[in-house]
Structure 1
């Protein structure tokens, strides 16, 4: 009975009884379960409140891969997709292919597995093959059926894998964030982050307090019991109708489109109506409706050939540029930040946006007090697009870049050819803080579980001032910190200890040397082979008129070489490096040596940048694959880039810049074929 009323309330939004009546039924069930423990059922409605915290999530291997989708960013991209289908289906008239189209929801992809009608497993998508087992958390999602609502014309499958999105409604998100703020809890940046963080919460009792919803968009395995007259699920349309009948919430305004032209119409309609949805959507997903055709077409290594996600243009809005403040980064770079009159953009309140550097402010002719157009690039990162100069009153004022560092008062400098003003004081508190945060981050030594907030607490407590201090953290001192427990302290110390095994390239990247990113760190590690060799060469003073050997290495020009020598000859940096050597963090290279002769291969002479995940390869492996194929692995988009390889979840800014520069694109599967993977 309670499951029925949950369905009426959370799925249909049409309750039949009052809240007090529901509470009375719920209390009665709890009392019965207490008096009769033999009736215990893991899928009882009383289990939605969560249970004891877990130490970690177990892995779950999906029976069928949970593919990501290829993206399109315009109607033309969709037409190109139709052209590909017409080549793959030469016997079909592409103009009359039917599709199922529904909104692309911006949440966390999850699979829920039912056995004989009962919820058995909930797992995140992960890498598509293996995700995290979050079953206990999924049991707390109120609109997710714990038991399927089967009937005579819709029997329960013996096994059913349902794929869907876990998300939050915008109103629920705002209410939750307000409550979190009042209670001193975590405040989330947007509904997607809140949903993802809640599903991956180790304490399911906390997840149970979050206003999560599960919306089904498809299926994996479907196995019907022997002897059962199985319903017709031969089309995506029938699948979605069936999921609705079994008790799942399905995407609103999903529909069957009788032709590609109808998909285009649905895309335009939903693009205009996106703010009318109670949750975030960022596009339309179009799938061939005929599931037999889906099976015939199959999938590439990363995505089905029969579906595409058509992304919407970025949300835009108008607000006032109230001020411009300057932040100091780990290399001393001063970054201007726009302080905006708070404005709601796609359900998210935006009050700040980066302005990158002084040149951008001048190029966009931005003045403090301007009305400005802002957008969320990729519907995530706030960006100031342009001022509305026609709204100027004369009271607006020019922004003057500070001549001294706002943190330490040192005189700022701007080197020839650089866009950034810098604080030259490496002892600046802000520089030290950002260097420490970078040192432990994924771009540095990747100390798992040691995030920005913990580093800031360590600094504020006087526990660390340099990266080397991370390796002297004391368990008893850690336990004195707010929200720190024994298990977490042990995990942090274990993560710090594990970082001592990092390869040379990661240590170089972690040091935060100006102009030295991941690719340059790889080049240095591959050439010098050990930190001793690098320390010896980069740390010596060059003789008069002596050419710099560093500049003979790939991708290292005069500015990078000068930055390396400035770092390795600086006394405080040399002291830090000597401490790291004494600690035992003084690794050798894990990369093959740089070849004297250029490698011949399919990418010979090509400058290639990989954005997004390439199936079967880590980011480092993808870069190395470019090099082994004779190419040069780039780290940024420029007019000199020859190929942009686009994998899963690519960087939107890289895609946009490459499009403006007409850089040729290559998908991940073509890249894998080219390099022989």
Structure 2
């Protein structure tokens, strides 16, 4: 893992300009939470400045951010009892190995143990508790003194106003906005006439300092350290002698939020190799986290090692930040394209000035819907903050409003369907062509015939176009009424291809209900949700008859989504009726229908209910690596179906809630994490034997 190289400064003039740009960016960020540079651009600039100063020490300017906490921009008037320093950075395994060697040379022995934890993308604060009551909240500031932001007490989750014991101590950590809090904050902010925050980090920084707002914005705290205050009692004073991992455990026991209950819980390891494994594990989970991280923090765990390593003026010498590639950048919004999906949804897509993010070039980003564009006040020509994590489609967080020049132009919304010219239904946030699925008939049928739905082999897009153009199908239910003579009359349809297609369609007729329901393409549902719905209701007629309250009994369906599913199933009723008439299967194998109202509720197996008798009853199962033996030909979706038929719940990530990991060849970091957490691990052959009764030729 590496990041973009440092900015190259060729002479004193370019160096001076870089120092001024860095100073302005830091000042803007620490004053209002806004900056003209994204985090990666500032980091590259600061490294370029440091490199130039190392080569030309006589040219170093006083305004340089090098060696200063917060780049020298932050101010404060509340002294820290112990300096609240920043962290130095490394960007590769080689740089990390060099750093660890320097630490061990400094202390004169190998580091006994290392702590590995996420570097949370928020604002560092110190929370001072006196006799168990939260008394004062202070920003990092310049490291020696910070700003009093105690007015924010009561708005930060995870930072209780009273601890579970009447101790006096200082807890240090990061205040940030989760993805959900960020969306909520921008909704509230724009409703009150404010510009949306560019990203969660800026939102947290600006919100923490804001006073006298007519609205409240929620944030979250994660502790990463604790220390005694001058008037602390004996019990708190012993914090100085505890290993770092035990400090976090102690703080969590007092009721303060730490990362311990997240997918990236801190871990203590003994070797550099184990540290790097931990770095890879945390980095692999980055895209799935509900909050931002921009690296991994590695610390010497023992207090003795920390004391002997010491600290510099800017950073401790016993801790380092292993930075990850940037997942957000600032670039220009050049245009907006309007695309129509298979269900008739009209989706806007941003056309961007190409920018490299997380190792790939990004030229497009999602814009969700017209209401989202309006809420964010996006304009053509805007400088926008673009976010990308893992394989997730890049999205625009917000315009960087303070960089506007006045030449930006409003985004024009379509007046008719861009695909067929029909009228647009604008009654909901997501606009839709009034022709619905008929607007994109080929896409709708191709989706239904896809591998994870009906899996009709030989029915690709080209063949679907041919069937639609010939007037043989008006929806995917018509596939089941195709006859041999009419297919043979089509071009490029010989006897063999015709018979193969009809055989594949006949096989699809017996697919489980979960596949059939997924083929309907109900908005707000997909493969896993379709399986949950099918297993809960067991038959299609029960699904169609379900009201909003009944649908909310399905795991993962809230009131809003339930209402949408009910509405769409009414619309799809004629299609469902055609499927029934064509003899398509409408039941889910092994599923038990829910009890009638007034009877005992169906149990999920955790307390000995019906699914407890199944081999995976009440278990959460993760699959990783290449399957072999009886499982070799199963896709990941088919494996998930198998897990759920056997009574379990499929998941994509390993956590403390994981009951079983099925580890095939090249299992990688998920196996390592399962071993660390003590999760049961099964080889493909062992798992196949466990669920043998549920292994069927067609899943």
On whether the aligned pair clears a TM of 0.5, the verdict is: no
Alignment TM-score, normalising by the size of structure 1: 0.40
TM-score using structure 2 length: 0.39
